[in-house]
Structure 1
Amino acid sequence: MNVIHLSAECYPVAKVGGLGDVVGALPKYQCLAGVNASVVMPFYDRKFTRDNRFETVYEGSSTLGNRPFHFTVLKEITNQLGFSLYLIRIPGLLDRPEVYCYNDESEQFLAFQVAFLDWIVQREERPHILHCHDHHMGLVPFLITSSYRYRSLANVPTVVTVHNGQYQGWMSWDKADLLPEIDLSKKGLLDWDGVINPLAAAIKCCWRFTAVSPSYMAELSHNSNGLEYLFAAESGKGQGIINGIDTEVWNPQTDPMLARKYNVRSVAAGKQANKEPLAGASGLDPSKPLVAFIGRLVNEKGADLLPGAIRLSLEKNPGLNFLVLGSGEAEIEDQLRELNELFPGRYHATIGYNEVLSHKIYAAADFLVMPSRVEPCGLNQLYSLRYGTMPIVRSTGGLKDTVIDIETPEGYGITFTSLSVAGICAAIDRAVALYPDTARTGTLRKKMMGLDFSWHQSANQYINLYNSLY
């Protein structure tokens, strides 16, 4: 079975969030299970593309409205990721360093989808499944069923995975002229609430869609930024499949980014050996419990509540350290920087994205807090469990599906429901109270590290879904 994954991100080529981690791992585990899975994504001028070798497998020309463009399909030649990787390069559109943030983002991803389909439609070998990730690739299911140019692909099953339904790729109707010629009787499939909505079009036109956890699939019908009715109406072709993690990349026994590697038997000594250099670099006391936050500093992640919750927790608990790693809204970043001055020696914030530092924090921290408003799946809590770091999570979406509270016999994390500073602080207070109980903490760490959130099971669920269509 030949499966093509279409995505704006794929680790380690280009990653902004969890989408990159998923698309960098799921195809690899599908290949291990016997599926010929590959990834096609935009070309970005980044370290991976500069440091690795590619061959040109196709060159073509197309148009974006009346604007002609040339594109090149490049293939990474060593198969080092465990699957075939293809990049589509379009001079002036898809040859820039950043994944997002450009004013012509709609044109970038539309041009990518058109170039991809122009390439695939002329190939003798047809894919058995097209797997589109998020709204950036959401017009593919529409175009292969509604554009005359791609009609020969109409019988190729399409699967759409919703990683975050809050972002939908809205475009005004004045950009409709950028699309290839379509059957005008199907124009309404593009529309939602008076604009072109690629995510809505994807859900309407795909054969099946998935969300990245069962709980998030249920939540989409009542919290999806205007698409609630659509998700409810199309729920019969939806399925929630929890994300996994790449246990080869995220493995404290082999992680080259750690000060000391460790396993379930040496977790206490290993975490302390990692905490000491990290605390030293951050000006913190390695003998104190360390709570961390890693992620985007946006309201969706509950980050607007973080400055107040951190301040109150540090004032209430003089024996507590706190680390933050993330970037996002400028106001939140500024508030978190200000705390550096208020709590020297007890708190440190690093504003930005740093993959190496994130690994070091997972290994060193005792607790990881995730006060999310919306969390479709969440990967950070899975990374923390893998490293023996207890997650403190608000029970929503995938966090609800993957973290069980320690007050139940099978539990291994701390959960809360109140989306407030008080709710976060109460959960952190529980963590502080637990920390001195080294016997219980040790038992819980071993339980955490023994959990299996690898991609093997999830990859097989996707394969079963493909088999039901192909």
Structure 2
Amino acid sequence: MIRVLFVTSEVYPVIKTGGLADVSASLPEALCRQDHDVHILLPGYPAALAAAKSAGTRRKAQLRIGFYPVTLWQTRLPDSAVALWLVECGPLFDRPGNPYQNEDGGDWWDNAHRYHLFARVAAMMALGQAGLNWVPDVVHCNDWQTGLVPVLMDSCQKRPATVFTIHNLAYQGLFSHEAFRALGLPDSLWRYDRLEFHGQLSFIKGGLVFSDHLTTVSPGYAEEILQPPLGCGLDGLLRHRSPFLTGILNGIDTRQWDPESDPYLIHHYGPDDLPNKRLCRADLQKQAGLGGSAEGPLLGFIGRMVEQKGIDLLLSVLPDFLDRGCQAVLLGSGMHEYEEAALELAEQYPGRLSVTLGYDEALAHRITAGADIFIMPSRFEPCGLNQMYSLRYGTIPVVHGVGGLKDTVFDPDTTGMNRANGFTFDKPEPGKLSAALDRALAAFNRTKAWRQLQRNGMAGDYSWQTRARAYIDIYRQILAARQSITDD
């Protein structure tokens, strides 16, 4: 049994802004199901503390870090056996809304201080300095918010092994040199081969430089970040560390995302009763205020309305497909200009286009089940979960073939119908997206081919079981390496 401290800034269902929260719940649970002892460490955001205290929690330690009083609370991740630790520090984490940004959409001015303190607590737990009776063998860190954890443990010879997972390299945790000084970090860390990045402090660089092993969330993305532009200025460092970099495709929670038992659906179906899927389509059309007699397929999109997700590409081609008899349901939020453009388009196409701003878990499930085609035109996508949800629900994805999308969606033009489960395009251009959608519409009108695409997608293994074993192999590998260093 391996003891793992899983350090993350969000975890579903306690706090979620994106896919990191889903992974931070599903992977630890999958590891526990394989008889490993995993504890999650999470900042004590107000909603997280309130949920934990209502469900039952215990105060396990009180610390003082600099000027700040800190309380460690222990509870369980809802509906699981995974231990969840919350770092309560009112001055830094007792704030409304988004964990990282204020109501105006700007980053909290003291994010460096907030996640430095969080990292210090993680390091104290990992090194047995928090007065607890549990010490991990491995500390598994996630994204820039945890990047200082391996840095703070580096000088200790008898420390746990460390893994750092890159969920999205574009978010790096960059702060000023003044912030570096204010955190009291040693001057020796202000070097190009440590934490300094073009005159700024880079939290993510701490994880990349000081961790024993690096992972990212798909094999495709692991290759892409070794070169510009997706290396985001860190590709040289990543090439240097490439012998210790592994791409492991994310899984999905197949209990939460199962068309045969999904509690958000009125009607259920599986690969052997696909006609029932049309009932989910009818329910979605009714909920979204769409007409029930569309000539073409129902298109779905769920995601952030930002350029990375290719929302501009989708909005540019959507009128043509709506004019040709398609319907579409869009769910998401992001840049004001794209939100406004989507709403204006919906006004031009009443009964054909529905736009919901924000995030609605129930609606997300109903779109995944009720749509015929799910569109993910992302300019880059480290892994992507929505295309795997769609595949499991027999909804055919049309995606830009990058990162985890090309690792999971297989086009009939390149793989043949025996393996194909969706459609891909090779450049983030409106014409390329339009051509891929044209091919999808042609397949939609050939019932036998469409059913084969659906069944191929639904037959895939998207669970965390295999993925968790890959992480366990890495844990064992780095533990053996750490043991040899300690023995020497």
Q: TM-score range by the shorter chain?
A: over 0.9
TM-score, normalised via structure 1 length: 0.94
What is the 5 A alignment of 1:320-359?
320-359=326-365
CA pair 450-78 structure 1, distance change in 2 beyond 3 A: closer
What is the 5 A alignment of 1:107-122?
107-121=113-127, 122=129
2:309 matched to 1:301?
A: yes
2:234 matched to 1:260?
A: no
Alignment-derived partner of residue 100 in structure 1: 100
CA distance in 1, matches of 2:249, 2:366: 25
Q: Which among 454, 458, 464 is matched to residue 455 of structure 1?
A: 464
SS at match of 2:292: coil
- Give, in angstroms, the shift of residue 229 of structure 1: 1.1
CA distance in 1, matches of 2:190, 2:221: 29
SS at match of 1:254: coil
What is the 5 A alignment of 1:140-289?
140-146=149-155, 151=156, 155-180=159-184, 182=186, 184-188=187-191, 189-222=194-227, 223-269=230-276, 271-288=277-294, 289=297
CA pair 286-447 structure 1, distance change in 2 beyond 3 A: farther
- Give, in angstroms, the shift of residue 442 of structure 1: 1.9
SS at match of 2:175: coil
Residue 340 of structure 1 aligns with an amino acid whose one-letter code is A
Alignment-derived partner of residue 9 in structure 1: 10
- Give, in angstroms, the shift of residue 48 of structure 1: 3.5
- Give, in angstroms, the shift of residue 124 of structure 1: 5.3
SS at match of 1:328: coil
CA distance in 1, matches of 2:344, 2:189: 53
Q: What do the CA deviations read for 1:140-180 (whole angstroms, capped 9, x no partner)?
A: 1111115xxxx36x531110000000110001110123435
Query: Is the 8 Å Cα contact of residues 122 and 149 (structure 2) preserved in structure 1?
Result: no
TM-score, normalised via structure 2 length: 0.90
Residue 293 of structure 1 aligns with an amino acid whose one-letter code is F
Q: What do the CA deviations read for 1:58-112 (whole angstroms, capped 9, x no partner)?
A: 111111xxxx011111111586323111111111211224222133222221121
CA distance in 2, matches of 1:50, 1:259: 33
- Give, in angstroms, the shift of residue 423 of structure 1: 1.3
Query: Is the 8 Å Cα contact of residues 79 and 85 (structure 1) preserved in structure 2?
Result: no
Query: Is the 8 Å Cα contact of residues 161 and 211 (structure 1) preserved in structure 2?
Result: yes
CA distance in 2, matches of 1:77, 1:454: 22
CA pair 468-341 structure 1, distance change in 2 beyond 3 A: same
- Give, in angstroms, the shift of residue 231 of structure 1: 1.1
Residue 210 of structure 1 aligns with an amino acid whose one-letter code is T
2:317 matched to 1:312?
A: no
CA distance in 1, matches of 2:380, 2:87: 32
2:471 matched to 1:465?
A: no
CA distance in 2, matches of 1:106, 1:224: 23
CA distance in 1, matches of 2:217, 2:387: 14
User: Structure 1 vs Structure 2: percent identity of aligned residues?
Assistant: 35
Query: Is the 8 Å Cα contact of residues 76 and 82 (structure 2) preserved in structure 1?
Result: no
2:432 matched to 1:423?
A: yes
Alignment-derived partner of residue 55 in structure 2: 52
CA distance in 2, matches of 1:249, 1:236: 35
CA pair 186-108 structure 1, distance change in 2 beyond 3 A: closer
2:26 matched to 1:25?
A: yes
- Give, in angstroms, the shift of residue 8 of structure 1: 0.7
Residue 230 of structure 1 aligns with an amino acid whose one-letter code is L
CA distance in 1, matches of 2:252, 2:427: 28
- Give, in angstroms, the shift of residue 310 of structure 1: 1.2
Query: Is the 8 Å Cα contact of residues 162 and 212 (structure 2) preserved in structure 1?
Result: yes
- Give, in angstroms, the shift of residue 251 of structure 1: 0.8
Q: Which moved more, 1:375-384 or 1:104-113?
A: 104-113
Residue 261 of structure 2 aligns with an amino acid whose one-letter code is T
Query: Is the 8 Å Cα contact of residues 367 and 391 (structure 1) preserved in structure 2?
Result: yes
- Give, in angstroms, the shift of residue 434 of structure 1: 1.8
- Give, in angstroms, the shift of residue 412 of structure 1: 1.0
Query: Is the 8 Å Cα contact of residues 39 and 83 (structure 2) preserved in structure 1?
Result: yes
Residue 155 of structure 1 aligns with an amino acid whose one-letter code is R
CA distance in 2, matches of 1:49, 1:332: 36
CA distance in 1, matches of 2:39, 2:120: 18
Q: What do the CA deviations read for 1:225-270 (whole angstroms, capped 9, x no partner)?
A: 211111111111101111011111111111111121222212222x
CA distance in 2, matches of 1:406, 1:3: 41
Alignment-derived partner of residue 432 in structure 1: 441
Query: Is the 8 Å Cα contact of residues 175 and 200 (structure 2) preserved in structure 1?
Result: yes
Residue 305 of structure 1 aligns with an amino acid whose one-letter code is L
CA distance in 1, matches of 2:241, 2:372: 42
In the alignment of these two chains, the number of paired residues is: 457
Q: What do the CA deviations read for 1:342-396 (whole angstroms, capped 9, x no partner)?
A: 1111111111111111011101011100001110011110000111111101100
Query: Is the 8 Å Cα contact of residues 165 and 217 (structure 2) preserved in structure 1?
Result: yes
Q: Which moved more, 1:382-391 or 1:43-52?
A: 43-52
CA distance in 1, matches of 2:301, 2:134: 46
Query: Is the 8 Å Cα contact of residues 60 and 119 (structure 1) preserved in structure 2?
Result: no
Residue 183 of structure 2 aligns with an amino acid whose one-letter code is L
2:64 matched to 1:61?
A: yes
Query: Is the 8 Å Cα contact of residues 37 and 83 (structure 1) preserved in structure 2?
Result: yes
SS at match of 2:257: coil
Query: Is the 8 Å Cα contact of residues 5 and 40 (structure 1) preserved in structure 2?
Result: yes
